[in-house]
């Protein structure tokens, strides 16, 4: 269950930089009016592990968009693997 589901953050298109993700979520938490102490608790928890832990913590605290890589793939990629002798 998400702690603050009303805080919605779009992470698709982020460069995968942990600090950028942490900053974006912290900013959205401030915009939603969460107390600075609560944001600090989030930041401490998010930075207490590796990158995967950071992402898991973000999804536990706020509503993050989901990245659906299947929609981003293009059918043209198939042509690269096609054998022209067929």
Residues 6+ apart with CB under 8 A from 12: 65, 67
pLDDT value, residue 68: 37
**pLDDT tens digits, 26-67:** 999 999 999 999 999 999 999 999 999 999 999 999 999 854
Instruction: Between 26 and 12, name the one with better pLDDT.
Output: 26
Domain boundaries, the chain: 4-81
pTM score over 0.85: no
pLDDT of residue 84: 56
Q: Are 17 and 7 in contact (CB under 8 A)?
A: no
Q: What backbone torsions phi and psi does residue 9 show, to the nearest 5 degrees?
A: -130, 130
**pLDDT for the residue numbered 16:** 79
């Amino acid at each position: 269950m998400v702690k603050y589901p009303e805080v919605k953050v779009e992470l698709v298109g982020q460069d995968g930089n942990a600090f950028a993700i942490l900053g974006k979520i912290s900013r959205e938490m401030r915009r939603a009016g969460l107390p600075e102490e609560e944001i600090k608790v989030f930041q401490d928890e998010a930075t207490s592990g590796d990158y995967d832990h950071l992402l898991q913590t973000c999804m536990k605290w706020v509503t993050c968009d989901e990245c659906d890589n299947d929609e981003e793939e293009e059918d043209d990629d198939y042509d690269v693997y096609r054998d022209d002798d067929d």
